[in-house]
Structure 1
Amino acid sequence: MRKPTIQDVARQAGVGVGTVSRVLNNHAAVKGVTRETVLKAIADLDYTPNPHARRIAGGKSYTISVLLPVLTTEFYVRLLDGLEHAFQEARYDVAIFPLLDRSRLERYLRSHTLAYQADGLVMATYNLTQLLTERQVRTQQPTVLVDAHAEDSDCAYMDNVTGGRMAGEYAVTLPGNLHAIWVETELDQLFTTRVFEERRAGFMEAVQAGGRQVKAEYTSSFDTLAARNVATALLDGAEFPCTVFASADLLAGVLLDEVQARGLTPGKDVYVIGFDDQPWAAARGLTTLHQPVEQMGYEGAQLLLTRLSGHRGPPRARRFEPRLVVRTSA
């Protein structure tokens, strides 16, 4: 059997070929009912557009470049899931550019490099935001920030100050001295972020408002050995019971391992609060701040897609707020 064509889709949907093309390109001018009719015809016929013909005809790459610090954390895997879901729905491919070291960043700042040969650009989390606002990134493509906020750019971001405040408000209700573990705010002395600074600001504000103080603060990277060393140091110096806010679930998980290895009981001897609500957190009984990471990525992608479809309005911001999920660890 021959493969269905765009003409077959148009005939089945009762529309012109141009309308089918606009639906495939996610153009904003197509009415909702018409779009659904065309999408149903595409599904019924199992029609797959020819990507090469689409690129030639449209004069576009139908590719989105995503620049982000690393690929190895659960957070970025989840963020990419949300981004790719939205872009695949609109039939865009995603090219991922991890900025692992200074040389890569310097190379990507040159506007002729491959990262900028896409129709749009997603920049995630770290000082990429500052680079964009300082015009060090020379790109004419529509650009959206994800997990970062800037007044003059479309962005989808988490309210980390509020999340930290929620953690602090809950922590002051728990017994024992308060301790906190923060994530290093630099990777390879290059990628700075305000995420953990904001979480700390919210947490300390709530602790002070609750008439309490933090007895000891620790800092760790995402390296498992470093996190274990910090957990060991914290428990060596703690009096039980105590309460610990670990500003990322990865650190909280390592702390839970060390607590249990010492024969202590989470939620009785050591109350542990994390931040992220990673997929494994429920099974570990970790009390944590849930982040809708995939939704943040999806909404960020939608902001970019509307720009690609012709939106010319002022910058828009999509703010997401964490929520506390109480489990047995606290």
Structure 2
Amino acid sequence: MRKPTIQDVARAAGVGVGTVSRVLNNHPSVKQATRETVLRLITELDYTPNPHARRIAGGKSYTISVLLPVVTTEFYVRLLDGLETAFQDARYDVAIFPLLDRSRLERYLGSHTLAYQADGLVMATYNLTALLSERRLRTQQPTVLVDAHSDNVDCVYMDNVAGGRLAGEHAATLPGHIYATWVETELDQLFTTRVFEERRNGFLAALGAAGRPLKAEFTSSFDSLAARNTASTLLDQAEFPCVVFASADLLAGALLDEAALRGLEVGRDLRVIGYDDQPWAASRQLTTLHQPVESMGHEAASLLLSRLGGHKGPPRVRKFLPRLVLRGTA
């Protein structure tokens, strides 16, 4: 059987081809009832727009480039889910560019690279404020930052200082020495993330306000083996009972695994506070800071889509607030 065409959709909906095209492009001039009819028939007929034809017709690629550090962690999987859901609803494809190291980011700073051939650009997590102010980032096409903040471009970010403060305020109410584990970054300061620095600042401020000292702090790279090694080192040195703020759930999970191996009673000998509220956190009874990661991604996509739809206003900022979820580990 031949694939359905845009003419088939238009004929079934009783509208012109131009109307179907406007629905596909989210044009505001289409009446809501007509839009719903066209979208229903697109689904029923299993019509898929030809991206090459759309590009030729409208001078657009209908692709969004997403630049992010890695694609293998739970946080970025969830972030991509939020981004892709919104973009797919708007009939845009997503091209993912994991940066992995500084050299790749340097390579992407030139507008001739493939990442900049899309209609819009999403950049995740990295501290790119200096690059934006120096205009080293080619932002001819609409650009949005997610999990990062800048005054020069649309951005969506989490208030990590507030999250760290919530963790510190709760840790200060619990008995025993207080420890913390942080995620280190291997990139230089210009390309690094401020996320964990901000969590640390909020956490230490809360402990200081409560008059509680931080006994010791440890760092780990962001992988499971390093997290487990850091957990082992921390528990070797800890005085029990103690409280540990693990600044990412990956680190908290490693602590729980190591504690179980040593026969420690979590919730009495060792209390653990994580950060992220990953999907597995509830089943492990992890007290943690919940981040609405998917919602953050969806909002970033919505800001970019509005720019693609013609919005010309000044840069917009959307700040999300984490919340403490109390469970059995603390």
* TM-based fold match above 0.5: yes
Provide the identity percentage: 79
Partner of 1:224: 224
- Could you say which residue in structure 1 is the equivalent of 2:100? 100
Residue of structure 1 in register with 2:196 after alignment: 196
For 1:83, the equivalent position in structure 2 comes to: 83
In structure 1, C-alpha distance between the alignment counterparts of 2:41 and 2:269, rounded to whole Å: 60
The offset of 1:188, in angstroms, is 7.0
Query: Within 2, Cα distance between the matches of 1:119 and 1:133?
Result: 22
Aligned to 2:315: 315
Structure 1 residue 167 and structure 2 residue 167: aligned? yes
Count of residue pairs brought into register by the alignment: 330
Write the deviation string for residues 77-128 of structure 1: whole angstroms up to 9, x where unpaired: 1111111111111111111111112321221111111111111000011133
Tell me the TM-score normalized by structure 2. Answer: 0.94
Deviation of the 1:33 alpha carbon: 3.6
Could you give the per-residue CA deviations for residues 178-203 of structure 1, whole angstroms, max 9, x where no partner exists?
A: 11111114447773111011111111
Q: Is the 8 A contact 1:28 1:310 kept in 2?
A: no
Report the 3-state secondary structure (helix = DSSP H, G, I; strand = E; otherwise coil) of the residue aligned with 2:282: helix
AA of the residue aligned to 2:123: M
* Amino acid in structure 2 at the alignment position of 1:258: E
CA offsets 1:134-186 (integer angstroms, 9 cap, x no match): 21112311000010111121111111111111111111111111111111144
Offset at 1:271? Answer: 0.2
- SS of the aligned residue for 2:166 comes to helix
Structure 1 residue 2: Cα displacement: 4.5
Which residue pairs with 1:22 in the alignment? 22
**2:64 corresponds to 1:61:** no
What are the within-5 Å matches in structure 2 for residues 1-330 of structure 1? 2-187=2-187, 191-330=191-330
Is the 2:132–2:152 Cα contact (8 Å) retained in structure 1? Answer: no
Unpaired segments ≥5 residues, structure 2? none
Aligned 8 A contact 1:28 1:306 in 2: no
SS at match of 2:215: strand
TM-score normalised to structure 1 length: 0.94
Of 22-31 and 171-180, the range deviating more from structure 2: 22-31
Q: Which moved more, 1:209-218 or 1:245-254?
A: 209-218
Change (3 A) 1:124 1:270: same
Counterparts of 2:169 and 2:189 in 1: how far apart (Å)?
32
- Alpha carbons of structure 1 residues 213 and 28: separation in structure 2 relative to 1, 3 Å: farther
Cα RMSD (Å):
1.7
Structure 2 CA distance for partners of 1:34 and 1:88, relative to 1, 3 Å: same
Q: CA deviation at 1:129?
A: 4.1
**Residue identity opposite 2:180 in structure 1:** A
**More displaced 10-residue stretch of structure 1: 22-31 or 133-142:** 22-31
Shifted more, 77-86 versus 97-106: the winner is 97-106
Aligned residue type for 2:295: Q
Give the letter for the 2:77 counterpart.
V
Shift of 1:56: 1.2
The SS at the match of 1:104 is: helix
Which residue type is aligned with residue 139 of structure 2? T
**Could you list the runs of 4 or more consecutive aligned residues of structure 1 that deviate by over 6 angstroms after TM superposition?**
none
**Structure 1, unaligned runs of 5 or more:** none
How many Å separate the matches in 1 of 2:85 and 2:108?
25
Partner of 2:228, secondary structure, is: helix
SS in 1 for 2:91: coil
Residues 30 and 316 of structure 1, relative CA distance in 2, 3 Å threshold: farther
1:273 and 1:43 mapped to 2: Cα distance? Answer: 45
Deviation at residue 27 of structure 1 after TM alignment: 2.4
129-138 vs 233-242, which moves further = 129-138
> What is the rounded CA distance, in whole Å, between the counterparts of 2:155 and 2:190 in structure 1?
22
**Is the contact made by 1:101 and 1:190 (CA closer than 8 Å) also made in structure 2?**
no
1:130 Cα offset (Å): 3.2
Counterpart Cα distance in 1 of 2:31 and 2:321: 32
Q: 1:4 to 1:224 in 2, by over 3 A?
A: closer
Q: 1:46 deviation in Å? A: 2.6
1:322: Cα distance to partner? 1.0
Change (3 A) 1:298 1:55: same
In the superposition, relative to structure 1, how do residues 159 and 189 fare at CA in structure 2: closer, same or farther (>3 Å)? closer
Q: 8 Å contact 1:102–1:190 — kept in the other structure?
A: no
Corresponding residue SS for 2:328:
coil
